[in-house]
Amino acid sequence: MVVLTKNKKTELILESTTLWDFPTQNYGDKPHGDNKFNGVTPAFVIWNLLQRYTKPNDLVVDPMCGSGTTIDVAKELSLRVIGYDIAPYRKDIIQNDARKIPLHSNTVDFVFIDSPYSDNVKYSDHSKCIGKIPCTDEKFFMELEKVAKEIRRILKPEKYMAWLIGDHWRKNTSYIPVGFKVYEMLSKFFKPVDVICVVRRNQTSNTGLWHKRAREFNFYLRGFKYLFIMQKTNQEES
Ligand SMILES: C[S@@+](CC[C@H](N)C(=O)[O-])C[C@H]1O[C@@H](n2cnc3c(N)ncnc32)[C@H](O)[C@@H]1O
């Protein structure tokens, strides 16, 4: 939640419900990630999570950190942070495939990940980008499962991770409940803590024409993403 104080400065307040709706991608005077990056995460999402699940000097990892939003938010909060991506967008992002993270087991305090949720966005030309696999193909979920296993491995016991993901609808393939499928997969490795609904804004389909089409042709535009908050316990969950 963002409020304007008397002197017109923005103040961030911790979210208290499971519905998060942020008007802009960024907060404050400095950029957090790049709001021109296709698929950038709202910086408030990461800010809220880090406030709740980390303490100063903790190690935060984002295995698919895109334009670096997690790095920027974490550094401002005096956290140690490592951001990986298959196609690094800036110099402080380490090139790596999220299916094999080069960190020792049980060493990380918090993981945030905003993964592709089908092949709807072109992130890069890299052949190992999971965003090249359509979610209509079971392989998509198998590859995300490899990432989930790595996240579980690197997290310290009892620590938390959060995974942002959206559902998929296309005229030719209809609805794929990507969120439910990923939740089910994650529940094998983690204890579910909560599910947040993050309102989607600033997407290319948020135009009068698309809203008209949705009404006329009887379909829905995607209005939210799921944010799954999960905890690593000592045993696998199922
Ligand atoms: C939704 S974007 C992340 C956005 C980011 N949180 C931000 O705020 O800019 C998903 C990212 O996953 C990356 N990615 C896709 N497949 C990957 C893989 N196998 N390993 C690591 N990163 C991958 C893409 O390159 C893309 O940058």
| Structural domains in the chain plus CATH codes | 24-231 (3.40.50.150)
* Residue with CA nearest ligand 1 atom 27: 66
Contact 193, 233 (CB under 8 A): no
Phi, psi values for residue 152, rounded to 5°:
-60, -40
Ligand 1 within 6 A of 86 CB?
yes
Q: Is the CB of 37 under 6 A from ligand 1?
A: yes
Q: Is the CB of 98 under 6 A from ligand 1?
A: yes
What pLDDT is recorded for position 3? 59
The closest residue, in CA terms, to atom 1 on ligand 1 is 39
**What integer pLDDT is reported at residue 7 of this predicted model?**
64
CA angle 103, 186, 89 (to 5 degrees): 50
Q: Is 187 left (phi over 0), alpha (psi -120 to 50) or beta?
A: alpha
Centre of ligand 1 to C-alpha 170, Å, is 22
Q: How many CB atoms lie within 10 A of CB 138?
A: 10
Whether the predicted model's global pTM rises above the 0.85 cut: yes
Q: What is the pLDDT of residue 120?
A: 87
Q: In degrees, to the nearest 5, what angle opens at C-alpha 66 toward C-alphas 52 and 120?
A: 110
Helices (H) and strands (E) in the chain, counts: 5, 12
85 lines ligand 1 (CB under 6 A): yes
Q: Report the interhelical angle of 138-154 vs 178-186 (nearest 10°).
A: 40
Q: What pLDDT does residue 172 have?
A: 76
CA of 97 relative to ligand 1 center, distance in Å: 10
Q: Is 165 in the pocket of ligand 1 (CB under 6 A)?
A: no
Which ranges of the chain have pLDDT less than 50? none
- Separation of 43 CA from ligand 1 center, angstroms? 15
Could you tell me if the CB of 178 is within 6 A of ligand 1?
no
Asked whether 179 lines ligand 1 (CB < 6 A), one says: no
